[in-house]
Amino acid sequence: MTALLLPFARRSSDGLMVSPDEVERGAQCECVCPSCSVPVIARQGTEREWHFAHAKGGSCDAGYETSIHELAKQLIRQRRSLTLPALSASVSATNAFGHLITESEELAPVAAVQLDTCRTGVECGDVKPDLICNADGRDIHVEITVFHRLSGDKKARLEKTGVPCLEIDLSELKTTQATRGGLDAALFAKTDNRAWVFHPRIASVSQSLRTRLDAKLAADAERYSKEWQLRSAERLTAANDESRRARSAAPEPASLQWRASLPSRSVVESAALVFNEEGLRKRVLDLAFTITSRGQLAGIKPADLVDAWAKETDASPSQISEFLTRAGFAIIY
């Protein structure tokens, strides 16, 4: 990227910011850099954009940005004209279904206003805005940014004043050489490069929008809860139907006999899924895992074990029978 040239300087005779075409050529311009106050010369050649340069060479890192910032404030003071951005309020949140819900209201369109007064270097509370303008008896704070956006701390202090504040964003000049014509257009012709930092009407309307949004979120949450309960009931009904079908197909305890070997733990855990209720499943598994050898089953009939476990766990005998066969403790004969 081509280095950005110093587009404006401060004229020593009256302290005004000027362009190279408003002064004499070279050192006769009698201007200084608005950032470091070092004398500059006006270069009015034929190959490059007319600009200023430090008389003794070198550069000033903040000179380019400061010159734009200072001339922008001067132009607004001189013209006493300001274009206000559209005023709107908006609040958003994600509802129970995961959808973004927004409530918004347009309060005022873009509007050009004539200023009664426009001052710089004046403090308001504990903050010094770039400009304090007044139109129709109402103050408006103006912040002009080029390379650096407003810090969170300054935004908070501007909001604390309770005075409407807008920001004019001239960051397009970070990569495009600034000229007097370009700066005029950015300040007085464009409307998409400014936004409200704070406005009391936005704060007030946002509260009512939040109330409306909260009501919608609550309604969505209630609807989601009802739909969730309905789906849960449907799943429970389907599970109960499956359980009844399994119980109807389960073998009678009297038709079981023990296998010659014990099943693995993973097979037993998988077979326990026949019990839909988690607590019941755990009680049956606790009993099943007490059987660690084939000899423990040799002294008891399958039907007796089924009855004993059914009483101890509150499961039905048919459920216990199905579990023993699925797990591989017993087979049907």
Q: What is the pLDDT of residues 288-320, one digit of tens each?
A: 999 998 888 888 999 999 999 999 998 999 899
For residue 236, is it within any domain? no
Determine the structural domain holding residue 185 and report its residue range. Answer: 81-208
Output the pLDDT for position 298.
84
- Using 50, 70 and 90 to split pLDDT, how confident is the model at 333? confident
Domain match, 74 and 93 both: no
CA nearest to 170, candidates 144, 151, 150: 144
What is the arithmetic mean of pLDDT over 267-278? 88
Question: Checking DSSP bridges between strand 194-198 and strand 330-332, what pairing results, if any?
Answer: unpaired
Output the pLDDT for position 80.
95
**What is the residue type of 223?**
R
What's the distance, Cα to Cα, between the start and end of the chain in Å? 89
**What is the residue type of 259?**
R
* DSSP character at residue 155: H
Tokens representing 29? 């311009």
Distance CA 50, CA 43 (A): 6
Output the pLDDT for position 246.
55
* % the chain with pLDDT above 90: 68
Output the pLDDT for position 250.
56
Question: If residue 140 lies in a helix (H) or strand (E), which one and from where to where?
Answer: strand 138-145
Model pTM above 0.95: no
CB 198 within 8 A of CB 155: yes
Q: Annotate 284-324 with DSSP letters as a single string.
A: HHHHHTT--STHHHHTS-HHHHHHHHHHHH---HHHHHHHH
Domain match, 31 and 149 both: no
Lookup result for tokens 């139907």:
241
Domain match, 92 and 168 both: yes
Q: What is the mean pLDDT of the chain?
A: 90
Backbone angles phi, psi at 103, to 5 degrees: -120, 125
Output the pLDDT for position 1.
40
Helical packing angle, 317-327 and 278-288, nearest 10°: 60
Domain match, 13 and 126 both: no
Tokens representing 272? 């326990």
For residue 239, is it within any domain? no
Domain match, 26 and 68 both: yes
For residue 258, is it within any domain? yes
Separation in Å, CA 260 to CA 46, 250, 297, 317, 328: 105, 21, 10, 22, 10
Last-in-domain residue among 208, 233, 259: 208
β-bridge mates for residue 331, sequence order: 257
For residue 234, is it within any domain? no
Q: How many domains does the chain have?
A: 3
pLDDT tens digit sequence for 108-125: 999 999 999 999 999 999
Last-in-domain residue among 177, 208, 239: 208
CB 94 within 8 A of CB 100: yes
